[in-house]
Amino acid sequence: MENIITSKDNPIIKLYQRLSSSKKGRLQYGLFVLEGLRLVEDAIKEEAAIEHILVTEGCQDKYADTLSQADLRNTKVIVISNELGKRISSTENTQGLFAVCHTPQAVKPESIFCDGGRYAVLYGLQDPGNVGMIIRTADALGIDGVISCQSCEIYNPKVVRSTMGSLFRMKIIVENDTDALFEMLENCGVASLASVIDTDAQPVTSLESRSRMAVFIGNEGNGLPHEVSARCTVRTTIPMTGTINSLNAAMAAGILMWEIRKI
Amino acid sequence: MENIITSKDNPIIKLYQRLSSSKKGRLQYGLFVLEGLRLVEDAIKEEAAIEHILVTEGCQDKYADTLSQADLRNTKVIVISNELGKRISSTENTQGLFAVCHTPQAVKPESIFCDGGRYAVLYGLQDPGNVGMIIRTADALGIDGVISCQSCEIYNPKVVRSTMGSLFRMKIIVENDTDALFEMLENCGVASLASVIDTDAQPVTSLESRSRMAVFIGNEGNGLPHEVSARCTVRTTIPMTGTINSLNAAMAAGILMWEIRKI
Please give the pLDDT value at position A195. Answer: 96
Contact check, Cβ <8 Å, B250/A246: no
Please give the pLDDT value at position A131. Answer: 98
pLDDT digits (tens, 9 = 90+) for A143-199: 999 999 999 999 999 999 999 899 999 999 999 999 999 999 999 999 999 999 988
Q: Could you say which of B165, B255, B261 has the minimum Cβ distance to residue A241?
A: B261
pLDDT digits (tens, 9 = 90+) for A112-148: 888 889 999 999 999 999 999 999 999 999 999 999 9
Question: Which backbone phi and psi does A119 adopt, to 5 degrees?
Answer: -135, 160
**CATH class of the A109-260 domain in this structure:** alpha beta
Please state, as a whole number, how many other Cβ atoms lie within 10 Å of the Cβ of residue A189.
10
Pick from B203, B152, B214: nearest CA to B181: B214
List the domain boundaries for chain A. 11-102, 109-260
Please give the pLDDT value at position B203. Answer: 94
Contact check, Cβ <8 Å, A251/B250: yes
Q: Return all residues near B119 (Cβ < 8 A) that are at least 6 apart.
A: B112, B113, B143, B144, B145, B146, B147, B190, B213, B214, B215
Please give the pLDDT value at position B115. Answer: 81
Phi-psi domain of B30 (left: phi exceeds 0; alpha: psi -120 through 50; beta: other)? left
CA distance B64 to A256: 39
A46 to chain B: closest CA residue: B243
Please give the pLDDT value at position A69. Answer: 94
A245 to chain B: closest CA residue: B140
Pick from B39, B43, B20: nearest CA to B31: B20
pLDDT band for position A225 (50/70/90)?
very high
Q: How far is CA B101 from the centre of its chain?
A: 14
Closest approach of chain B CAs to the CA of A248, in angstroms? 7
pLDDT digits (tens, 9 = 90+) for A15-58: 999 999 999 999 999 999 999 999 999 999 999 999 999 999 99
B244 to chain A: closest CA residue: A140
Please give the pLDDT value at position B1. Answer: 44
Which H helix or E strand runs over B236?
Answer: strand B234-237
- Tell me which chain B residues have a C-beta less than 8 angstroms from the C-beta of A205: 263
CA distance B125 to A88: 29
CB-based contact, A206 to chain B, within 8 Å = no
Q: Could you say which of B137, B169, B244 has the minimum Cβ distance to residue A139?
A: B244
- Tell me which chain B residues have a C-beta less than 8 angstroms from the C-beta of A254: 247, 251, 254-255
Report, as ranges of residue numbers, the positions in chain B whose pLDDT lies below 50.
1
Q: Return all residues near A76 (Cβ < 8 A) that are at least 6 apart.
A: A51, A52, A53
Closest approach of chain B CAs to the CA of A44, in angstroms? 16
Identity of residue A100: V
- Tell me which chain A residues have a C-beta less than 8 angstroms from the C-beta of B239: 263
Please give the pLDDT value at position B208. Answer: 85
CA angle A122, A174, A37 (to 5 degrees): 85
Count residue pairs from A and B with Cβ separation < 8 A. Answer: 93
Instruction: Tell me what percent of chain B is helix, strand and coil, each rounded to the nearest 5.
Output: 40, 20, 40
- Residue B106 per-residue DSSP state: P
Check: CB of residue A121 under 8 Å from CB of residue A149. Answer: yes
Contact check, Cβ <8 Å, B262/A255: no
Question: Which backbone phi and psi does A236 adopt, to 5 degrees?
Answer: -125, 165
CB-based contact, A244 to chain B, within 8 Å = yes
Please give the pLDDT value at position A120. Answer: 97
Put simply, the chain A residues between 122 and 181 with a CB less than 8 A from any chain B CB are 129, 133, 136-143, 164-166, 169
CA distance A135 to A173: 12
Strands (E), chain A: 31-35, 50-56, 76-80, 97-102, 118-123, 145-149, 172-174, 191-195, 202-203, 213-217, 234-237
Q: Could you say which of A169, A240, A250 has the minimum Cβ distance to residue B243?
A: A169
Indicate whether A263 pLDDT > 80.
Answer: no
Exposure string of A178-188, with b = 16+ CB inside 10 Å and e = fewer, is: beebbebbeeb
Contact check, Cβ <8 Å, A139/B263: no
Please give the pLDDT value at position A5. Answer: 96
Predicted ipTM?
A: 0.92
pLDDT band for position A1 (50/70/90)?
very low
Pick from B157, B171, B235: nearest CA to B199: B235
Q: Global pTM?
A: 0.93
Indicate whether A2 pLDDT > 70.
Answer: no
| The CATH classification of domain B11-102, taken from the options 3.40.630.40, 2.40.110.10, 3.30.1330.30, 3.10.580.10 | 3.30.1330.30
Which H helix or E strand runs over A109?
Answer: helix A109-112
Contact check, Cβ <8 Å, B205/A258: no
Give mean pLDDT, residues A233-238. Answer: 96
Contact check, Cβ <8 Å, B243/A165: no
Contact check, Cβ <8 Å, B142/A241: yes
Closest approach of chain A CAs to the CA of B176, in angstroms? 26
